[in-house]
Each structure stands twice: as structure tokens, then as C-alpha cells.
């Protein structure tokens, strides 16, 4: 509900602002105009201002879709459960002249559709922005809501908000901290647009990427105009995004149900002439998606993703080239790549805009402390080695805290002592086991117990990595991609339709336990099949899954090779028991001795 209260003429400096006990409508004089502010805490009330909201957006310098009322309503519908509306409406007489659409999360204020907006702004006429912003900040400071800070993220350099912040009075500016900047690459098509676009599309490198995919099947691209069809594709869009970013070691935003809900709601809210949901298909299989916007001659590149099984075929680039062709045929004047300076964007852009992040601190002391902290970080970045040292200490402290919390203080300290000792002098030993064809393992076609093997793909591994991130880091996933290129096979053990185990099978002329001993230590054994990099799901351990899996893999490998090899650390007693139970015999050892983690000696026999 929006509570209205008449107030005395409002001071324009924070030092003399009164505290109130209700949401207010206040009056102040700004220049020659008298402004009235209202804190809107009910979305029904905000909806009555939707027409004026759009009027202000469309008349402003940046009428971005991100600041439209439908986009804000999608954000409210998705996140309202954990937020309280706290929008500031500014009136000149009875006419809305400005709007700062904020919500409160605990004691933090932020934009209503955050974190989904790449661009945020103050809705007002450009020339009125400084006065309107001053009135909005004054209203926030007398609001009874116990907020500590207001995050003003994704503020374009040419926006009303940036213009207003630069012209605030010194007392207000003391509460504002500039926290971060981001690049926003764009392709401007003002002069000779046809030549620019055709040069991109005819580039030999880009044509090769398209032709490589076409050799694999029938390639098709289309925009989906039907909302129901878009909804049917959204689960696959989410899944591809989760898989793609899991392989990069990043947690996808779509693992969060609220953020999936936002995009589902966005499809309902944004007009189909503006929302552009695109799909690139190979035969009938969608291999890349993009959700973006087309409005007033500008196409906004917003949320792309692709099928990781086609990682090396660059389906994301192929989809982008089709979008560029759409921009050419539609005679648009700009392809805005929005927030983010990813490497591939520089290939297709000719200008870079910038956005800034600001923090409005209610406490002047906190603003000063925040400013000092940022300055210290900037100074530290000028000394890379020192910065790396402090980062390493921070990581070690977090790991120590996690270890003690997980194992308890006594066990945690014992483990910590062992780790510290290994930092000085460490000896790592790997045991190498073999199984020959004459040992007559089990039939490869028959499951052992209730374990069934399936051939896995990179997207399967991405699903696993998204769920068990702590066990599948970026380096491990990068090695997995290289293995698949080399011809190694990924196998998944399934028990009662549940994933239980992951293992690799490859062919080698020499054994390298890279994860255990690094790349320097190797043992030549001729051409042998190798089972390696095995992982058992935590809740399936100590159930014989590992033994059953390597028995089946050994039987499969021995159909084509005379010998199968598997290895593990001496300290991994569970793996040693499983390997020996599967019929393998210990034949060789490899060692590595490290001093201060800098000097290493290796040996194999």
C-alpha cells in the first residue's frame, strides 16, 4: 500500500533531513519547479503509473527494453516473494516527471528487475534528471524503511542517472561510491551499413564455421513468434545454458528457480514483435538458442547458449552470424551486445560503450570506508605478485574454515598439519595394475550386478559437473574435452536409472598419471587400453559400483587389446581394494618427490 503524507518543504542536504515513521509524499523546490515525491510500496499502485512510465521511457535518451514496464513487471512477478517494492515516483503537480523503480532485499535497495537488467536508468526527461534524482534521493533518506545501501548497477554513461549523479550537490555525492565499470560492445550501422555487414558475413573464417556445421546435416535458423512454442523450448534453453557454463566452471543463473521463472514470465510480458527467441537446428536437433530484443531500430544481443556436444563446431558463432544477417535484412541501425566484454564480441563490433555501478550509502562513514577499500584494491592490483599472495591467503583461509567446520576442530587441525607438512616435502606414489586377456574377464555384454554401462557425451558430463561442481573443476572438464577430441570414450554407470559412476577408457603407448603426478612422470608400456579418471557418486560409494564398472570396461577393452591398465594413488585404499577385487595385478609404480612445491623429482619402474 502507498501511504500519503503532506510534508514541509524538504531540505536538499542529508545533514538536516528529518526521520519519519511512514512512507511519504514530500514537497521540495528544485530549480524553478516544485516537485512532489511518493514512495510506492504497492505494485497495484505502480501499475496505475504504467502509461506514464512508458511515456517517460520512450521520451528519454535511452528507451531500452530493460527499462520498460513489462520487463519490470516480469522481474516483480519472479522475485516478489523475497522483495519489498520501494519505487520513488516524482511528480510536477499531478504529472509524473520521474521514476526510480527500486525494490528492497533486506536492507539493500536495487532496481526492480535486477539482476536481469543489463542497463538501468532513471526514468525522466534528460534535462530534468539532476533535479528529479535529487528529489528521489531525498525521499529515500527520509523513508522509514531501514535500508543501508542502494545498488545502482548497469548505469550507461549516457543515461539520465549518470547525468544526474554527476550533478548532485557535494553533500549528496559524498554518499555515492562508484564501484565498478563494464564494457558494452556494439555494432553501429550509421554509414555504409550494407558493406559493413556483408564484410562480416563474407569473412572466410566465418564461412568456414558455417560450412563445417552444414557438412554434419541440414542447418536451419528461425525466430519463434508463437509464445507457446517458445515456452516449449525454454527447458532446453535452460539446460543448454546450465551445461555450457558448467564446462566453463561457472554456475549458470538458471540453476536458480527464480531466474528461470523470470524468463518464463518475460515470454508472457514482452510483446512478440519485441522479444526475439531464436533457434539454430541441425536436422531436427536444436544446437543453439538466443533470447534478445528488437526495438526502435536496435537489436539487443541478450542471452545466448549452445549445445556443448557441438562445442568445437562453434554453434554459438553460427547463430550469431544468422542474427547479423537478420539485422542486415531488417535494416536495423545497431546490434547491441549489451553488458560483457567476452572475447568473441570484438570480432563483430566497431564501438564500445560503458556502464558503471554506483552504491548509494545511507551512512557517510560507510561510504568513506567503501571508497577507501576500493582505492586499496586498485593499488593492490598494481602489484600483481602481492595481489596474488593475498588472494592465496584468502583462499587458504576459506579452505581452512571449511575443513574445520566439516571435520571438527581436532580432526581439522590434524589434516591441516598434514597439508602444511606436504607443502615443505611431499612424496606421491601411484600404483599401476594390469589385466591380460588370458585372465578371461566377465562377458562385456552382460551387466555386473545391477550396474549398466552407457556411452557418455560432453553434455552428460556437463550435467554431472553442474550438480557436483566441487568434484569437476575447470581443469578436469578441459581435459575431458581434449580426451573426446583424441578419441577417448566416456562411460557412465547407471544403477536403477540413477547415475552412479563415471570412468574413461582410452588407448595409450605410455602411462601418465597427470592428475596425480603431473605430466613429467611417464612409463612406456606399448599400446594398451587404459581405464582412468574414475569417479563414484558420493551416495553410491562402498557398494561395489567401482569394481563392477571396471570389470565391464576391462572386458570391453580386452576385445580389442591384449592388456588393460588402471592406476591409483597408494593412499586411495578404497580404489586399491576395488581394483584388486576386479582381478587386476600390481605390476609397476611411479613416484614424485616435491620440495616446497617448486622442485620435483620423478621415477617409474
Q: In what order do the strands lie in the sheet with 563-569?
A: 451-455, 489-495, 498-511, 523-536, 563-569, 425-436, 585-595, 599-604
Has residue 202 got a pLDDT over 90? Answer: yes
State pLDDT tens for residues 488-521. Answer: 999 999 998 899 999 999 999 988 877 777 777 8
Which of 513, 514, 457, 452 is closest to 490 using CA atoms? 457
| pLDDT tens profile 349-407 | 999 999 999 999 999 999 999 999 888 888 877 777 776 777 777 777 777 777 677 76
The alpha carbon dihedral of 519, 520, 525, 527 has a sign of positive
Phi and psi at residue 589, to the nearest 5°: -135, 150
- The DSSP bridge pattern shows strands 123-124 and 95-100 to be antiparallel
Helices (H), 270-358: 315-330
Per the CB < 8 A criterion, the answer to whether 447 and 453 are in contact is: yes
Phi–psi pair at 279, nearest 5 degrees:
-135, 135
Domains (ranges, CATH) in the chain?
A: 14-183 (3.40.630.30), 191-332 (3.40.630.30), 424-604 (3.40.630.30)
Q: Model confidence at 423, in pLDDT bands (50, 70, 90)?
A: low
Average pLDDT, the chain: 87
Which three cell numbers mark 96? 509524473
Report the SS3 class of residue 567.
strand
Model confidence over 226-259: pLDDT tens digits? 999 999 999 999 999 999 999 988 889 999 999 9
Cis peptide before 156 (omega within 30 of 0): no
* pLDDT tens digit sequence for 274-318: 999 999 999 999 999 999 999 999 999 999 999 999 999 999 999
Q: How many CB atoms lie within 10 A of CB 180?
A: 12
* pLDDT given for residue 36 in this prediction: 93
C-alpha span between 381 and 364 (Å, rounded): 26
pLDDT above 60: residue 7: no
**Mean pLDDT, range 309-330, rounded to an integer:** 95
CA distance 126 to 131: 10
3-state per-residue secondary structure call for 75-98: HHHHHHHHCEECEEEEEECCEEEE
**Cβ neighbours around 69 below 10 Å, total:** 21
DSSP 361: E
**Cα–Cα distance for residue pair 560/164, rounded to 1 Å:** 73
- φ, ψ dihedrals at 121, nearest 5°: -160, 165
- The radius of gyration computed from the CA coordinates of the chain, to the nearest angstrom, equals 30
| 52-95 residue pLDDT tens | 999 999 987 789 999 999 999 999 999 999 999 999 999 998 89
Rounded to the nearest angstrom, the gap between the alpha carbon of residue 470 and the centroid of all alpha carbons in its chain is 16
Amino acid at each position: 500500500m502507498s501511504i500519503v503524507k503532506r510534508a514541509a518543504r524538504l531540505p536538499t542536504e542529508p545533514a538536516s533531513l528529518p526521520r519519519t515513521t511512514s512512507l511519504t509524499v514530500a514537497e521540495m523546490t528544485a530549480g524553478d519547479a516544485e516537485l512532489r515525491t511518493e514512495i510506492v510500496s504497492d505494485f497495484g499502485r505502480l501499475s496505475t503509473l504504467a502509461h506514464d512510465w512508458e511515456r517517460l521511457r520512450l521520451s528519454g535518451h535511452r528507451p531500452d527494453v530493460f527499462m520498460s514496464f513489462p520487463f519490470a513487471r516480469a522481474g516483480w512477478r519472479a522475485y516478489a516473494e523475497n522483495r519489498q517494492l520501494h519505487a520513488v515516483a516524482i511528480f510536477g503537480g499531478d504529472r509524473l516527471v520521474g521514476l526510480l523503480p527500486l525494490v528492497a532485499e533486506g536492507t539493500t535497495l536495487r532496481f526492480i528487475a535486477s539482476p536481469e537488467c543489463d542497463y538501468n536508468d532513471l526514468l525522466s526527461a534528460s534535462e530534468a534528471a539532476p533535479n528529479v534524482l535529487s528529489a528521489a534521493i531525498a525521499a529515500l533518506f527520509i523513508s522509514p524503511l531501514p535500508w543501508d545501501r542502494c545498488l545502482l548497477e548497469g548505469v550507461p554513461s549516457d543515461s539520465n542517472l549518470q547525468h544526474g549523479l554527476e550533478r548532485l550537490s557535494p553533500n549528496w555525492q559524498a554518499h555515492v561510491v562508484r564501484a565498478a565499470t563494464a564494457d558494452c560492445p556494439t555494432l553501429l550501422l550509421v554509414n555504409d551499413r550494407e558493406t559493413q555487414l556483408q564484410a562480416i558475413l563474407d569473412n572466410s573464417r566465418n564461412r568456414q564455421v558455417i560450412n563445417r556445421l552444414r557438412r554434419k546435416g541440414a542447418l536451419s535458423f528461425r525466430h519463434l513468434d508463437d509464445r507457446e512454442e517458445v515456452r516449449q523450448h525454454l527447458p532446453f534453453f535452460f539446460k543448454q545454458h546450465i551445461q555450457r557454463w558448467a564446462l566453463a566452471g561457472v554456475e549458470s543463473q538458471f540453476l536458480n528457480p527464480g531466474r528461470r521463472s523470470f524468463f518464463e514470465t518475460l515470454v508472457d510480458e514482452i510483446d512478440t514483435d519485441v522479444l526475439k527467441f531464436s533457434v539454430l537446428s541441425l536436422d531436427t536437433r536444436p544446437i543453439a538458442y538466443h533470447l534478445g530484443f528488437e526495438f526502435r531500430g536496435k537489436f539487443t544481443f541478450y542471452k545466448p547458449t549452445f549445445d556443448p556436444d557441438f562445442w568445437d563446431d562453434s554453434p554459438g558463432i553460427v547463430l550469431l552470424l544468422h542474427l547479423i544477417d537478420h539485422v542486415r535484412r531488417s535494416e536495423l541501425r545497431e546490434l547491441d551486445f549489451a553488458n560483457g566484454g567476452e572475447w568473441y564480441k570484438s570480432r563483430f563490433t566497431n564501438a564500445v560503450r560503458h556502464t558503471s555501478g554506483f552504491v548509494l550509502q545511507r551512512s557517510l562513514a560507510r561510504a568513506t570506508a567503501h571508497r577507501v577499500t576500493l582505492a586499496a584494491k586498485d593499488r593492490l592490483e598494481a602489484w600483481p605478485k602481492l595481489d596474488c599472495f593475498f588472494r592465496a591467503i584468502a583462499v587458504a583461509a576459506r579452505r581452512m574454515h571449511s575443513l574445520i567446520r566439516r571435520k571438527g576442530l581436532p580432526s581439522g587441525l590434524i589434516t591441516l598439519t598434514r597439508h602444511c607438512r606436504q607443502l615443505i616435502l611431499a612424496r606421491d606414489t601411484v600404483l599401476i595394475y594390469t589385466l591380460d586377456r588370458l585372465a578371461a574377464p566377465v562377458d562385456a555384454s552382460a551387466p555386473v550386478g545391477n550396474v549398466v554401462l552407457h556411452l557418455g557425451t560432453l553434455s552428460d558430463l556437463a550435467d554431472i559437473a553442474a550438480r557436483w561442481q566441487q568434484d569437476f573443476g575447470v581443469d578436469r572438464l578441459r581435459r575431458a574435452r581434449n580426451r573426446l577430441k583424441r578419441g577417448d570414450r566416456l562411460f557412465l554407470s547407471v544403477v536403477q536409472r540413477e547415475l552412479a559412476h563415471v570412468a574413461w577408457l582410452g588407448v595409450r603407448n605410455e602411462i601418465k598419471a597427470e592428475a596425480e603426478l603431473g605430466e613429467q612422470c611417464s612409463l612406456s608400456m606399448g599400446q594398451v587400453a587404459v581405464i582412468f579418471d574414475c569417479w563414484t557418486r558420493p551416495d553410491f560409494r562402498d557398494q561395489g559400483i567401482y569394481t563392477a564398472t571396471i570389470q565391464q570396461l576391462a572386458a570391453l577393452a580386452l576385445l580389442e587389446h591384449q592388456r588393460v591398465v588402471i592406476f591409483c594413488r597408494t593412499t586411495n585404499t578404497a580404489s586399491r581394494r576395488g581394483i584388486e577385487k576386479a582381478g587386476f595385478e600390481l605390476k609397476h609404480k611411479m613416484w614424485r618427490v616435491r620440495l616446497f612445491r617448486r622442485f620435483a623429482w620423478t621415477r617409474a619402474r
